[in-house]
Amino acid sequence: MKVPLLDLKAQYETIRSEIEAAVRDVLESQHFILGPFVQKCEEAIARYCSSSHAIGVSSGSDALIICLMAEGIGPGDEVITTPYTFFATVGAITRLGATPVFVDIDPVTYNIAAEQIASKISPRTKAIIPVHLYGQSADMRTILELARAHGLIVIEDAAQAIGAEFDRRRCGSLGEYGCFSFFPSKNLGAGGDAGMVVTNDPERAEKLAILRAHGSKPKYYHRVVGGNFRLDALQAAIVSTKLTHLDGWTEARRRNADRYNQLFLNSGMRVCDSREWHNGRRHDGRMPDVVLPAATTDRHVFNQYVIRVVARDDLRATLQAKGIGTEIYYPVPMHMQECFASLGHRAGDFPESEAAAAQTLALPIYPELTDAQACYVVESIRDFYNRPD
């Protein structure tokens, strides 16, 4: 049996006629940059994310950059974030000349440990970028309280978390900005690079709209230097079309996660979830065979289903040989990346991030995953841990 990490072709077959019609509409209009298709997408995303404004941009990476630009963050400024994330989070900070200040992760959710942020705030701190990793919100209550107390901007990196909720509020709508990626592998994916920023502040929305078009308003008149961060109409049309299916796909992912949990619990392996493991089962230094992800907030959208395992790399190789796709998100934390050596960090500085990088593995969780495929994945993992030494 083959179980890919992600099967976009299976999804496309269910919406082929809708996507082709949307693309055809754009081609017939010959309006490719910004315009009515982008505006329609922006309005739909703003509604979905419970935000007043949405500004379409060229990628999730550029969404982060343009928010930092809008706040004038640059050399001499510090931005607090997590070292356990995709490169774009930290790359955006450093590209503008600011300094990333890392806070280790909560081992239960893999999100930034909000209770540790206060100790990293300095007079140079200008913003906090929490990352809602794998589709689950960071502890936004604590983060927002700290930000308000210290006058800091909160830029939510919600690239993996569209539709996720914290305290019954949509991720992306809680801070000053929410940044989304529509990279094709995301829960809501375009046909290439695309992104969106949501905000409830009309002045910030206006500034973002100006910055994404080289800082011009009106055209050819520039008060500020922006960039070419525009969302193109073809991607906007695809995103708008797929958005109507997103809640159904999200519920399928959530059901797949529940099914995995039950299959693992019934497998005979030594299994617990990350809350149990963190709160008492690791005091003797031993891990069970599989530590399951814990959903601790209102709505986890499972962009990834990530387990923590013993002998991770050997297990991954075995699953690959059996036709099962997996991925490691992320094998090298940001503080250990060669390009950030100038920050002066060393191994052991952020132990929870380093442990997660060494032990976690993402399993297939896409909406079209079948019962038989999920059973095959869990049975293959069981066979690995039950093999003779």
- Quote the tokens at residue 361: 């593995």
261 neighbors 279 (Cβ within 8 angstroms): no
pLDDT for 283 beyond 60: no
Specify whether 192 is located in the same domain as 273.
no
Q: Are residues 276 and 232 in the same domain?
A: no
Q: Which helix (H) or strand (E) holds 106?
A: none
Q: Is residue 2 part of a domain?
A: no
User: Which of residues 191, 225, 243 is at a domain's end?
Assistant: 243
3-state helix, strand, coil in the chain (%, to 5): 45, 15, 40
Q: What is the pLDDT of residue 282?
A: 57
Residues 299 and 195 in one domain: no
pLDDT score of 389 more than 80:
no
| Structural domain that includes position 339 | 246-385
Domain boundary among 187, 215, 243: 243
3-state SS of 192-207 is CCCEEEEECCHHHHHH
Q: Nearest CA to 179 among 69, 300, 260? A: 69
Residue 193's domain is classified under what CATH number?
Answer: 3.40.640.10
Structural domains of the chain, count: 2
For residue 15, the tally of other CB atoms under 10 A from its CB is 15
Kindly report the CATH number assigned to the domain that includes residue 378.
3.90.1150.10
Q: Supply the pLDDT for residue 286.
A: 74
Per-residue model confidence (pLDDT) at position 387: 75
330-365 pLDDT per residue, tens: 999 999 999 999 999 999 999 999 999 999 999 999
**Span 102-145, pLDDT tens digits:** 999 999 999 999 999 999 999 999 999 999 999 999 999 999 99
pLDDT of residue 285: 62
Q: What is the mean pLDDT of the chain?
A: 96
pLDDT of residue 221: 96
Give the confidence band of 278 by pLDDT, cuts at 50, 70, 90.
Answer: confident
* pLDDT tens track for 234-274: 999 999 999 999 999 999 999 999 999 999 999 999 999 99
d(CA 8, CA 13): 9
What's residue 281's pLDDT?
59
Are 23 and 90 found together in one domain? yes
